[in-house]
Structure 1
Amino acid sequence: MEAGRRQISVGDVLNETFSIYGQNFGALIGGAIVVFVLVGIASGLLQNSGGLVLGTLALIVELVGRAIFVGFVVRLVEDVRDGRRDHTVGDLFSSASDAIVPLIGFGILFGIGVGIGFILLVIPGLFLLTMWSVGAPAIVVEKEGVIGAFGRSWNLVRGDGWRVFAVLLVVFLIGLAVSAVLLAIGNSIGNGASLVAGIVAAVITAPIYAIAVSALFFDLGGGGQGASAQASTATAPPAA
């Protein structure tokens, strides 16, 4: 068994996910706003300008933004698992910066592989989505390469696939419910409010999945924390 690995409990992972979210709400939402709003504006301007080159640049901007945010959240979860956040938001973004390129590469291959799996009667896509779910944290924390992250994730998840899948499913349903409510409110208001509601939904829900897969990574023995790490129940105020 992986050193530091502990039995995955769907309830425990979800409790830790929302505990970390609540205690670090300002940092997470602030980071999401900076990344997704600014990236969304830049990407939108490039796409509206038209042309294949600018469209490709818009896609690259989006990929970079998502990679930055994932790296930031992984570092934040790693930091708070001792009971408090010791590093500032700037420190966390900076410490994840060297993982941006491999995270982008992993994200592209992950999307292609899972997408092909969904085309093949859905089940293979769900299987790959589960088995590769903790590849991004492996890149950030353990400095795995793009290809190595797939194998590392597979080895960590193996034996706990159903529990990991259950966590991912619940997180997906929660995000879907939040987005549906906000979009319904936006549609009822009209006058472009649905666009704003979509952005707000993305900002609010983006940290949930990233925190959950980070918690899973450490619980499965990644980074050598596993059972030795305590779920975040900070009583001291986090760093600014």
Structure 2
Amino acid sequence: MRPGIIPLRPLAVGEILDGALRLIRSSPRAALGLAAGAAVIGTLPLAIVQALEANEAFSSLFGEDASVRPPAGILPSVSEVIADAAGVLVQFLLVTVLTGVLTQILGRAVFGGRITAGEAWQRSKGRIPALLGTAVLTGLILAAPALVLITLIFFALGAAEIGLFFLLSLGGTVALICYVAFFGTRLALAAPAVVLERLGVIAALRRSWELTRGAFWRVFGVIVLTNIIVAVVTLVIGIPFGLMAGAILFATDGGSGATPVLVTLSVLSEMCAAIITYPLQAGVLGLLYTDRRMRAEAFDLVLQSAAADQYRLGWVPASADELWLRPAGGGPHGGA
């Protein structure tokens, strides 16, 4: 049975990715419109910082006094690290909120129903504080070990402990990657739970942990595959903007007059990529959440029964949103 963007049964990996694309195609104004708003807010800080850094680097190579300038340091400055981290944090917050809002659209789209961006926002805006809280708490959980590691690395540098520095840099980085991969995966489904099940921050994180139990590698693999697709799409979209930037640098000989144009091109490149990739990432997370409920709780039976009722009605009522709520006792649907 497939009344909407996905078949109402446990999903294959390809069906999750296809469903995310179908979500965008079924409600393009809602999905891309919301993504455009998020992209404008999310890409400007990071894109501007990156563009200014790139322009400074090109100016040092092509500027009139390039031959007498000292080479730039290997490590970025503290201000650059803070600016980049702030940009990444803003993007993470926005993608989390967008995931929640688009999940509201997804809740209808699995039945073939549609809602506008305005309606999705109206139905989701009451959950924004919980979504932001979920994003902030998740970010703290993932970032705390990184802050500790960075502190220890700088301590080792200050104490001239070269052996300890390399041990922390290599071993600590590997351990940090494993930590972020594990906890990032186990907590990845919290945003859909905040909106569809109307859970609070802690309850949503616990719910994500529960849904990913016994399915870590599958969820992790889909998220990694999605991120690879996002990286490729971002790279492809950035090619024409990069060519234009190169032509401008060549034409202006790296002069300071090229800076505004380079900033604009960088912002446009980041923004165009975000408009496409934000809803793709949000759709994948929403469908992973749906798939885990179908596999762990026989939720597909609930969806199939509701779809049959809606077929007889000939339309998808707003009450379809209530299907995503868990039973009062917190047990799975369908008794499985």
- Identify whether the pair has TM-score above 0.5, normalized to the shorter chain: yes
In the superposition, relative to structure 1, how do residues 215 and 12 fare at CA in structure 2: closer, same or farther (>3 Å)?
A: same
TM-score normalized by structure 1? 0.77
Determine the structure 1 residue equivalent to 2:54: none
Q: CA deviation at 1:184?
A: 2.4
Superposed, 1:108-123 pairs within 5 Å as: 108-116=136-144, 120-123=175-178
Q: CA deviation at 1:7?
A: 4.2
Cα distance per residue 1:161-209 (max 9 Å; x no partner): 1111111111101111011112222111123323211111111110011
Cα distance per residue 1:28-81 (max 9 Å; x no partner): 111111233256669999xxxxxxxxx9xx999877755542322110111111
The structure whose RCO (Cα within 8 Å, separation 6+) is larger is: 1
Determine the structure 1 residue equivalent to 2:276: 204
Matched, 1:37 2:40: yes
TM-score normalized by structure 2? 0.57
Larger CA Rg, structure 1 vs 2: 2
1:152 aligned to which of 188, 207, 213: 207
Q: Specify every segment of 5 or more residues in structure 2 that has no aligned partner in the other structure, as ranges.
A: 1-7, 49-82, 147-172, 246-260, 305-313, 317-336
Aligned-pair identity in percent equals 26
Query: Which secondary structure state, in structure 2, belongs to the residue aligned with residue 121 of structure 1?
Result: helix
Matched, 1:22 2:94: no
Matched, 1:214 2:286: yes
Q: Equivalents in 2 of 1:200, 1:62: separation in Å? A: 14
Equivalenced residues, count: 216
Determine the structure 2 residue equivalent to 1:13: 16
Determine the structure 2 residue equivalent to 1:48: none
Q: Equivalents in 1 of 2:276, 2:243: separation in Å? A: 20
Q: Specify every segment of 5 or more residues in structure 1 that has no aligned partner in the other structure, as ranges.
A: 46-54, 231-235
1:131 aligned to which of 176, 180, 186: 186
The answer to whether the Cα contact below 8 Å between 1:74 and 1:210 also exists between their aligned partners in 2 is yes
Determine the structure 2 residue equivalent to 1:233: none
Q: Equivalents in 1 of 2:185, 2:88: separation in Å? A: 25
Amino acid aligned to 2:232: A
The answer to whether the Cα contact below 8 Å between 1:71 and 1:140 also exists between their aligned partners in 2 is yes
Q: CA deviation at 1:142?
A: 1.0
Q: Equivalents in 2 of 1:215, 1:21: separation in Å? A: 13
In the superposition, relative to structure 1, how do residues 142 and 225 fare at CA in structure 2: closer, same or farther (>3 Å)?
A: farther
Amino acid aligned to 1:71: G
C-alpha RMSD of the superposition: 3.3
Q: Equivalents in 2 of 1:125, 1:62: separation in Å? A: 17
In the superposition, relative to structure 1, how do residues 176 and 64 fare at CA in structure 2: closer, same or farther (>3 Å)?
A: closer
Determine the structure 2 residue equivalent to 1:169: 224
In the superposition, relative to structure 1, how do residues 142 and 107 fare at CA in structure 2: closer, same or farther (>3 Å)?
A: same
Matched, 1:94 2:122: yes
In the superposition, relative to structure 1, how do residues 149 and 14 fare at CA in structure 2: closer, same or farther (>3 Å)?
A: same
Amino acid aligned to 1:210: A
Q: Equivalents in 2 of 1:122, 1:64: separation in Å? A: 20
Query: Which secondary structure state, in structure 1, belongs to the residue aligned with residue 176 of structure 2?
Result: coil
**Which segments of structure 1 move beyond 6 Å, counting only runs of 4 or more?**
41-45, 58-64
Q: Equivalents in 1 of 2:176, 2:36: separation in Å? A: 36
Q: CA deviation at 1:121?
A: 3.3
